[in-house]
Amino acid sequence: MLEIKNLHARIAEDGTEIIRGLNLTVKPGEIAAIMGPNGSGKSTLSYILSGREDYEVTEGDITYNGESILELDPAERASKGIFLAFQYPVEIPGVATMQFLKVAMNEQRKARGEDELTTPDFMRRVKEAAEGLKIDPAMLRRPLNVGFSGGEKKRAEILQMALLEPTLCILDETDSGLDIDALKIVADGVNALRSPDRAVIVITHYQRLLDYIVPDTVHVLYKGQIIRSGDKELAQELEANGYADVIGTAA
């Protein structure tokens, strides 16, 4: 489904290389966890996958369903089914949350040649998805993410994910800033989306989230490379012993 081959990427502005020869394959239905210490390139990888133009790919390729996505802008990637749940969702004053959801859903449908949603159909979908995530309808009447608490922002991200029905979900440190109850709600939301044709990449610092979203594969990212891959036991090993062992072995 997703194949990253010998990827090298740098910050466009100052040329700092962040990703240095990264290889990763994610299959349909797979939940892949990417772990690693601060500064290893985890968030950068999520931005590169979603097409943020602050980063430049200098070598290698990313293919999605067999097709290179490097030339696609973020909106085109999104309509191909790639979704990034932001570590820090952006507050956008003046753009009503409901209006934004509707535009985003319809823009993606348009890009795929599907009909736009009718208003009642849209309202029904939002209502159902919001209930599952315990999102107060009053929150959806506010401008996008403005004044949302940390937990509300993360839930709003998962709400968007549920509504947009992506085929590749990238969760960038979705657990950061969440208390245990909010974490469970978010994890339930993600688990509800598990399906044989949908893959999830969970980027996280800690094992904690992986107790609730159980990964099929775990990869350790360090200095811009995957230095070790394993199954969920690897995450527990990291939790118990820290990154030092893994990094030491690789070095």
Partner 1 sequence: MNIQTNQPVAKLTVAETALVEAFASQIGELPGNGAVTGTRDRLLDDLKKAGLPTRRIESWHYTDLKNLLRAVPERVAGAKASSVSALVKGSTVLPVLQGEAHADAQIDGVTITAFRDQLSDGSAVAGLTALDKDDAIGRLNGSFVRDGLALVIPANAEIEDVIELQASHGEGQIHTRFPVSFGAGSKATIVERHRSETDAAALVSSISDLTIEDGAEITWIILQSQGPSDTHLAQIRVKLGAESKLRLYVINAGGKLVRQELRIEVQGEGAELTLRGVNLLGGDTHTDVTLVLGHNVPHTNSTETFRNVVFDKASGVFQGMIRVAPDAQKTDAKMACNTLLMSDDGDFSVKPELEIFADDVICGHGATVADIDRNHLFYMMARGVTESKARAMLVNAFVAEIVEELEEAKLVEPLEEVISTWLDKHA
103, 123, 244, 250: which one contacts partner 1 (CB under 8 A)? 103
Residue 192 binds partner 1, judged by CB under 8 A: no
**Cα–Cα nearest to 173, from 233, 224, 221:** 221
Residues 86, 43: Cα–Cα separation, whole Å? 9
Residue 78 binds partner 1, judged by CB under 8 A: yes
Query: Near partner 1 by CB under 8 A, which window of 101-109, 125-133, 178-186, 204-212?
Result: 101-109
11, 12, 75, 192: which one contacts partner 1 (CB under 8 A)? 75
Extract the tokens encoding 77.
Answer: 């990637």
- Render 221-233 in DSSP notation, one character per residue: EETTEEEEEE-HH
Beta-bridge mates of residue 192: none
Query: Near partner 1 by CB under 8 A, which window of 61-69, 97-105, 174-182, 217-225?
Result: 97-105
Residue 188 binds partner 1, judged by CB under 8 A: no
40, 44, 87, 160: which one contacts partner 1 (CB under 8 A)? 160
Amino acid at 203: I
57, 70, 98, 104: which one contacts partner 1 (CB under 8 A)? 104
Residue 38: CB atoms within 10 Å:
7
- Render 129-174 in DSSP notation, one character per residue: HHHHTT--HHHHTSBTTTT--HHHHHHHHHHHHHHH--SEEEEEST
100, 206, 212, 243: which one contacts partner 1 (CB under 8 A)? 100
Residues 74, 54: Cα–Cα separation, whole Å? 12
Residue 73 binds partner 1, judged by CB under 8 A: yes
Residues 135-154 within binding reach of partner 1 (CB under 8 A): 143
Residues in the site for partner 1, rule: CB under 8 A? 50-54, 73-75, 77-79, 83-84, 86, 89-90, 92-95, 100, 103-104, 107-108, 111, 143, 160, 164
